[in-house]
């Protein structure tokens, strides 16, 4: 989602990503593993991860507190020149209601698997450069703050697995958005303004309660490469035919 792998198609990006992984494995920076079912994956050795974190901790541009237990977000930890923040797989016990970190250079925010139930209304107010927001697998999260609608630099928004989330704020201003992942959420309607997101390449709405896809939307999303829809949503075949860059499709038409 950060654009670290290059390519004009998903296949090219996939190949570039595997080239990078293979180089890291050969240099022993990642370890290749195979599980009992024969599926391949990679992992980073704990010692190497700790070394990487020590290096980044010397630079105030990174805040990494992944998987270290229950935490309360404190505004004084979010310094002015942060570039990336990750609380992946940490239990966020509380976010102060008036919290609005002043992080104008922040590009990536990962609050995935954090058991978050609420994000304050002004939370994104001073994060105008955000490109990636990952809130996936917060199964108790029911609402998103309206301030997310103003993140005009946003390239990727992942709400995957937020099963109690019933709606998404208007997204019409997010004209740089490439990735919208609402898989397995409780949304029932397409986010307002989605027809304006003409740079979208990846959309996953499968596993949702979405009733229908408005007819005027798909033909406007001409850059789509991946589209996954709920199986009960019918798509006109002429709308699919207009997506000339589409490489992967899941759904019914």
What's residue 63's pLDDT? 87
pLDDT 10s per residue in the chain (253 long)?
A: 888 898 989 999 999 999 999 999 999 999 999 988 899 899 999 999 889 888 877 667 888 888 877 777 888 778 888 999 999 999 887 788 889 999 999 999 999 999 888 899 999 999 999 999 999 999 999 999 999 999 999 999 999 999 999 999 999 999 999 999 999 999 999 999 999 999 999 999 999 988 888 888 999 999 999 999 998 888 888 888 899 999 999 988 8
d(CA 229, CA 235): 9
In the chain, the domains with their CATH numbers are 9-44 (no CATH), 46-250 (3.80.10.10)
Residue-wise burial string across 142-169, b where 16 or more C-beta atoms lie within 10 A, e elsewhere: eebbebbbebeebbbbbbbbbbebeebb
What's residue 86's pLDDT? 92
What's residue 164's pLDDT? 94
User: HSE-up of 215 (CA within 13 Å, CB side)?
Assistant: 3
What's residue 87's pLDDT? 92
What's residue 197's pLDDT? 96
d(CA 6, CA 11): 10
Residue 62, beta-bridge partner list:
84
Instruction: Kindly report the pTM of this predicted structure.
Output: 0.91
């Amino acid at each position: 989602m950060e654009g670290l792998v290059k390519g004009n198609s998903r296949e090219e990006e996939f190949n570039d990503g595997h080239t990078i992984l293979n180089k890291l494995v050969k240099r022993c920076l990642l370890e290749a593993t195979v599980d009992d079912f024969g599926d391949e994956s990679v992992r980073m050795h704990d010692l190497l991860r700790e070394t990487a974190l020590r290096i980044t901790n010397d630079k105030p541009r990174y805040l990494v507190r992944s998987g270290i237990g229950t935490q309360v977000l404190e505004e004084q930890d979010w310094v002015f020149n942060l570039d990336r923040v990750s609380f992946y797989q940490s239990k966020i016990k509380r976010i102060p209601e008036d919290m609005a970190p002043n992080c104008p250079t922040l590009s990536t925010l990962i609050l995935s698997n954090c058991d978050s139930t609420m994000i304050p209304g002004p939370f994104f107010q001073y994060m105008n450069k955000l490109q990636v927001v990952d809130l996936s697998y917060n199964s108790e999260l029911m609402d998103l703050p309206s301030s997310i609608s103003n993140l005009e630099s946003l390239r990727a928004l992942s709400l995957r697995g937020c099963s109690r989330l019933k709606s998404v704020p208007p997204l019409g201003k997010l004209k740089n958005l490439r990735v919208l992942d609402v898989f397995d959420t409780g949304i029932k309607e397409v986010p307002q303004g989605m027809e304006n997101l003409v740079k979208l390449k990846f959309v996953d709405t499968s596993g949702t309660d979405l009733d229908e896809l408005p007819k005027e939307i798909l033909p406007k999303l001409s850059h789509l490469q991946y589209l996954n829809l709920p199986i009960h949503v019918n798509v006109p075949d002429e709308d699919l035919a207009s997506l000339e860059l589409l490489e992967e499709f899941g759904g019914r038409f």
